[in-house]
Amino acid sequence: MTPPDLLSAIEIETNPDPVFTVLWMHGLGADGNDFVPIINELKFAAKKRIRFVFPHAPTRPVTINNGYVMRAWYDISDASINSSEDETGIRDSQKAVDALIEKEMHRGIASENIVLAGFSQGGAMALQTGLRQKNKLAGIMALSCYLPLADTLSNEAHPANAVVPIFMAHGLDDAVVPISIAMASKERLQQANYKPEWHEYRMEHSVCIQEINDIDDWLQRILS
């Protein structure tokens, strides 16, 4: 199998000669620019040598949006986002994220200094890829999302990340990815012996300042 073409991405280094990478994936219909502004809100990041990588998802028709072509990590066919899953699309994007991890390792970043992060579809991809990744990661940040292909995890989870730190956060008023779906994903992870750190906030399908502060604290803990 030939390796996938590397996804284009925005890269920002908080200090010269980075030793950490945060690979942050956007949600459906957005692009890598979506979370660039958050760097200025992370007080801890300014003190560390971190390379933030914000990849652009491939463009594809999205069924739930009448087949409109947009950036998406995988197709979504109906409002029940975790049913009738686009397994091919999810696994193709997993390979693309794996390739970005390999790129960072080739650039001298130890795998245990790499964080996979994402919002919505991007958060689903962080869980999908991180839990199956053969190289030990620093952590997985899953924001306003759910666990995709949950039924395959027990057979595919890699022992290298059996105890990887997982930060999960969700809005109580999220109408796009209902918090009930996220909580069910958290419980599936707990049943698989993971220990996700759970946060919930009075917000919709978005990010709030308290969440950013909690992310900052979590990054400080796992990258210290």
Cβ-Cβ contacts under 8 Å for 141 (sequence gap 6 or more): 24, 115, 116, 117, 118, 123, 126, 166, 167, 215, 218
**Rounded distance, CA 68 to CA 45, Å?**
36
Question: Which of 78, 110, 95 minimizes the C-alpha distance to 5?
Answer: 95
Q: Which are the catalytic amino acids? A: 120, 174, 205
DSSP state of 69: E
SS3 145: coil
Chain-centroid distance of CA 11 in Å reads 16
